[in-house]
Each structure stands twice: as structure tokens, then as C-alpha cells.
């Protein structure tokens, strides 16, 4: 029979599926206070089926017109280079797309992800800067394009300055084990703070060039298209600061004294505060308590105690980070045809019975 397009099981209790090879985490299935998302619950966003690669047959080719001497590394060679371990989030640029339609009546193209195309992991890998150093950069080197070994060779160029940052790594471990197949085994790029599309999985090559390579992921997808934007369209880079209530949609709870849990995250740093509105996002009168780790470019759990009478109530969190960035009001949410970067606070409906 046909085998599944993904390797890991996707039980309905843990995931909302979007087609055959995409699934978002049900945030309510996570443990409040435990920031790192277990691998078996981490969202998967693939442009096709997961390729099943072996470490033994794998090579990393570092080449291109801006490389001094092309390099080919085996898996064993990669994992013996000095490594760096970081805890950072990944989030799909389309996370929250469902809310363009639900809250603004704007039909955006693409899967209607809610809040669960977000996950935090502890990644171990080799900084791209070190790998590029092995090959040597020529004058004029300006772009590094990690190329995936999946179907069409998904690839997306990174400006050299971002590739050279110490936290931009070629990761081969996730949460203490080898990178799972669906998350890019044997090795993937992790570009903290940037849209998930930059963190290329199943990397087989790093192509270093003087000119920006033009590929679907920086011309048609992961760009801002629409009436508000110029042509050629701006290419997406950094994510937006966001927050979520971790409950089914809508939530259902017994009336009375309850604790509501949620997550908040920022691509710029740690979360400083989570404010909460109980009137649909007009007045943010409450401040949530942050619980567990609050890590820069990863996120934090928060909780809010409330006394709820029977009836409908919406809970709207709004994150503020250590640099003062916050979520724009819904009235300032910019629209784009593909529904990227939904940033406004989301009123999460709960029925208390
Ligand atoms: N890399 C390859 N090779 N192929 C892909 O389809 N999808 C990208 C990125 N890297 C993708 C890829 C997108 S759009 C996202 S959001 C992240 O991987 C998702 O990473 P995850 O599946 O590990 O959560
Ligand atoms: Mo994505």
C-alpha cells in the first residue's frame, strides 16, 4: 500500500492536519510551563513528502561562484566539527492565516493554519559561518542558498550577513536526539527569528554566490503580494511577535475559578509581558503571569486566573517583548494575498458552562 507522506504518526489528539504532508500542533496538547515542544508534537510543514535519507549516503556540498575551494563533507565529518546548541522557535510564515478570514473577512491563499505552526526546540549544529570558512569566501560573496534534497529541491537564499550570524546553524540534533526524518534528517538549517521557510530541511548543498538566486521561495512564495505592496514583492525575512491561548477552538470549560494557559513568542528577544483583554481586544486590563522558561527567540508560557460566570467569553492575549515590540491592533493588520505574518491579537472564544 501507499506509505504515509510523513514518517511520524499524527494522532488527531496532537495535530490538526492540512493535507497529506502538513500538520499543526494542537497547542492544548502541550504541557504548560514546558517551553520545548517534544519532537512527536512539533508541527510539520513540507512542500512534498518527507524524503527518507540515510546518513551514510549523505554529503554536504559547499560550492558556488563565491567559494574559494568547494568542500564536500560526510555526516561523520559534520558531527565532529565544533558545534553550538541553542533553544529557538520555528514558525511558518502562514501561521495564523485562518484569522485573516475569520477576523477580517479576507480570503488569503493557502492552508488555514491557526496558531500551531509554531514550535520550540533545542538544536545542535555547526554555525554556517564555520562551514563557509572551510570553503573560503571570495570577494563579493553575498548570498548563501541552502538546497534541500526533497522532491523539487526546495531552496531559499539567505543574505550572507544573516548566514554569518552565530545562531544560524546547520543542525543535526533536535531535542537531544538525531534530527527526525520529517524535520530534515540528516541536517537542516535553523535561522532563528526568520520565517520557517528560511530553515531549509534535508540540506544537501550550500550554494554561495555574488548574486541573489531567484527561486520560487523568494519570488512567488514567502513574499508580500497584494494591493499594499510594490513589485517586485518584498521578500519575507523576520517573523512577527505573537501569542496564543492554548485551548481547543472554541474552548469549553466549567464556570468558576479557572486558569487559562497560553504561549507568547518574539523573533527579537524574550517576552517581557503578556497583557490580556476580556472584551474582545478593546481594553487590555489584565496581566498574565509568565511560567517556566522565558527564552529569547523561543517564547514563554503564561497563565491567567479568572472567575468566569456561565456564558461566552473571549480571551485575547497580547505579547510585549523586552525591546518593547508588541502586537498591532486588528485594525492595523496589513493584508497580503498569501496570508503571511498574521500579527494581531486573536480573541479566543471560550464557553463556560
Ligand atoms: N525545507 C525543505 N527542504 N522543504 C520544505 O518543504 N519547508 C519550510 C522549511 N524548510 C521546507 C523546508 C517551511 S515553509 C517551514 S515553516 C519549515 O521548514 C517547517 O519546519 P518543520 O517541518 O521542521 O516544522
Ligand atoms: Mo512555512
CA of 43 to the centre of ligand 1 (A): 10
Reference 39, options 137, 179, 158; nearest CA is 179
Query: Beta-strand (E) ranges in 175-288?
Result: 177-178, 188-190, 203-209, 242-245, 251-253, 256-265, 271-277, 284-287
Looking at the fold, whether 256 and 189 belong to one and the same domain comes out as no
CATH number for position 31: 3.90.420.10
Looking at the fold, whether 197 and 249 belong to one and the same domain comes out as no
Looking at the fold, whether 54 and 178 belong to one and the same domain comes out as yes
Q: How far apart are the first and last CA of the chain?
A: 46
Looking at the fold, whether 274 and 333 belong to one and the same domain comes out as yes
ipTM entry? 1.00
CA of 27 to the centre of ligand 2 (A): 17
Report yes or no: 30 and 246 within 8 Å, Cβ to Cβ: yes
Which among 6, 21, 47, 177 is the best mutation to test ligand 1's pocket, defined by most ligand atoms within 8 Å of the CB?
Answer: 47
Looking at the fold, whether 253 and 188 belong to one and the same domain comes out as no
pTM value is: 0.98
Looking at the fold, whether 215 and 246 belong to one and the same domain comes out as no
Reference 110, options 125, 93, 122; nearest CA is 93
Looking at the fold, whether 212 and 263 belong to one and the same domain comes out as no
CATH number for position 314: 2.60.40.650
Q: Specify the number of domains making up the chain.
A: 2
Looking at the fold, whether 207 and 269 belong to one and the same domain comes out as no
> Which residues are near ligand 1 (CB < 6 Å)?
42-47, 90, 92, 148, 150, 154, 183, 196-197, 199-202
Give the integer Cα–Cα distance in Å for 161 and 346: 34
What is the three-class DSSP state of 99? helix
Looking at the fold, whether 93 and 190 belong to one and the same domain comes out as yes
One digit per residue, the tens of pLDDT, for the chain of length 353 reads 467 899 999 999 999 999 999 999 999 999 999 999 999 999 999 999 999 999 999 999 999 999 999 999 999 999 999 999 999 999 999 999 999 999 999 999 999 999 999 999 999 999 999 999 999 999 999 999 999 999 889 999 999 999 999 999 999 999 999 999 999 999 999 999 999 999 999 999 999 999 999 999 999 999 999 999 999 999 999 999 999 999 999 999 999 999 999 999 999 999 999 999 999 999 999 999 999 999 999 999 999 999 999 999 999 999 999 999 999 999 999 999 999 999 999 999 999 99
Report yes or no: 141 and 210 within 8 Å, Cβ to Cβ: yes
Do the domain assignments include residue 228?
A: no
Range of the domain at 304: 242-352
Looking at the fold, whether 271 and 170 belong to one and the same domain comes out as no
Amino acid at each position: 500500500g501507499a506509505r504515509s507522506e510523513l514518517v511520524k504518526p499524527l494522532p488527531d489528539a496532537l495535530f490538526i492536519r492540512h493535507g497529506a504532508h502538513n500538520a499543526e500542533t494542537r497547542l492544548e496538547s502541550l504541557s504548560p510551563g514546558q517551553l520545548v515542544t517534544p519532537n512527536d508534537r512539533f508541527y510539520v510543514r513540507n512542500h512534498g513528502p518527507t524524503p527518507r535519507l540515510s546518513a551514510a549516503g549523505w554529503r554536504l556540498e559547499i560550492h558556488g561562484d563565491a567559494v574559494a575551494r568547494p568542500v564536500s563533507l560526510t555526516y561523520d565529518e559534520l558531527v565532529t566539527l565544533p558545534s553550538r546548541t541553542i533553544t529557538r522557535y520555528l514558525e511558518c510564515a502562514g501561521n495564523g492565516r485562518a484569522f485573516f478570514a475569520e477576523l477580517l473577512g479576507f480570503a488569503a491563499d493557502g492552508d488555514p493554519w491557526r496558531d500551531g505552526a509554531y514550535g520550540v526546540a533545542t538544536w545542535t549544529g555547526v554555525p554556517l559561518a564555520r562551514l563557509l570558512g572551510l570553503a573560503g569566501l571570495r570577494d563579493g560573496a553575498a548570498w548563501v542558498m541552502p538546497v534541500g534534497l526533497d522532491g523539487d529541491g526546495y531552496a531559499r537564499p539567505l543574505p550572507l550577513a544573516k548566514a554569518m550570524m552565530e545562531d544560524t546553524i546547520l543542525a543535526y540534533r533536535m531535542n537531544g536526539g538525531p534530527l527526525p526524518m520529517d524535520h530534515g534528517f540528516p541536517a537542516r538549517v535553523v535561522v532563528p527569528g526568520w520565517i520557517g521557510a528560511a530553515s531549509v530541511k534535508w540540506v544537501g548543498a550550500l550554494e554561495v554566490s555574488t548574486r541573489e538566486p531567484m527561486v520560487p521561495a523568494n519570488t512567488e512564495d514567502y513574499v508580500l503580494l497584494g494591493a499594499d505592496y510594490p513589485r517586485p514583492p518584498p521578500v519575507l525575512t523576520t517573523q512577527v511577535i505573537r501569542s496564543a491561548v492554548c485551548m481547543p477552538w472554541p474552548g469549553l470549560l466549567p464556570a468558576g475559578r479557572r486558569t487559562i494557559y497560553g504561549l507568547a513568542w518574539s523573533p527579537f528577544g524574550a517576552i517581557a509581558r503578556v497583557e490580556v483583554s476580556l472584551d474582545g481586544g478593546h481594553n487590555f486590563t489584565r496581566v498574565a503571569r509568565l511560567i517556566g522558561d522565558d527564552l529569547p527567540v523561543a517564547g514563554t508560557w503564561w497563565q491567567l486566573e479568572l472567575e468566569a460566570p456561565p456564558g461566552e467569553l473571549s480571551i485575547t492575549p497580547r505579547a510585549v517583548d523586552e525591546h518593547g515590540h508588541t502586537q498591532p491592533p486588528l485594525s492595523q493588520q496589513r493584508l497580503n494575498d498569501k496570508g503571511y505574518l498574521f500579527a494581531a491579537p486573536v480573541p479566543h472564544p471560550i464557553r463556560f458552562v
